[in-house]
Amino acid sequence: MTAGRLESINASRGGVPKRSMFAALITERGIDGDRQRDLRFHGGPDRALVLFSLDLIRALQREGHLITAGATGENLTMSGIEWTAITPGTELLVGKVRLRITRYTTPCEKIACSFVNRDYTRISEKVHPGCSRVSARVLVGGVVSIGDPVELAS
């Protein structure tokens, strides 16, 4: 079983970057209080949350990218999980919250300032497999806090 840690919980009133918070209520709609500006591309049951890897963010920083937790719009930033194992259909436990990964999250130009030469495709699953954020459906909601364990559900 792969185990990790919730490192950052991120929300905004719309747009990026999302700002970190210590704890949050997660419902089938996502993080309570988080807003998306364009509901054609964000939100809804299959995109209630966006997840990303702090380990991958740190690797991108070593490449010279200005990316930080929440800068690309993810709601939950976690460490210690083998990110290539987080694929559509995978279920995760974040504390007591249960999530199902539904798809890879397509990057858009609004996050370009986080990347060298504004190349936001650096986190595109099609261009760089294993480097994408992922979207998730909330199967069981609840409160999460920074430091909560993250593990693949059995």
CATH number at residue 10: 2.40.33.20
Amino acid at 74: E
CA distance 70 to 81: 18
pLDDT exceeding 70 applies to what percent of the chain? 94
Asked if pLDDT for residue 59 goes beyond 60, the answer is yes
| pLDDT tens-digit readout, 122-137 | 999 999 999 999 999 9
The whole-chain average pLDDT of the chain stands at 92
How many distinct helices (H) and strands (E) make up the chain? 1, 11
Q: What pLDDT, on the 0 to 100 scale, is given for residue 38?
A: 55
**Overall number of domains in the chain:** 1
- Reduce the DSSP state of residue 118 to 3 states and report it: helix
Write down the pTM of the prediction: 0.93
CA distance 72 to 70: 6
Range of the domain at 33: 3-152
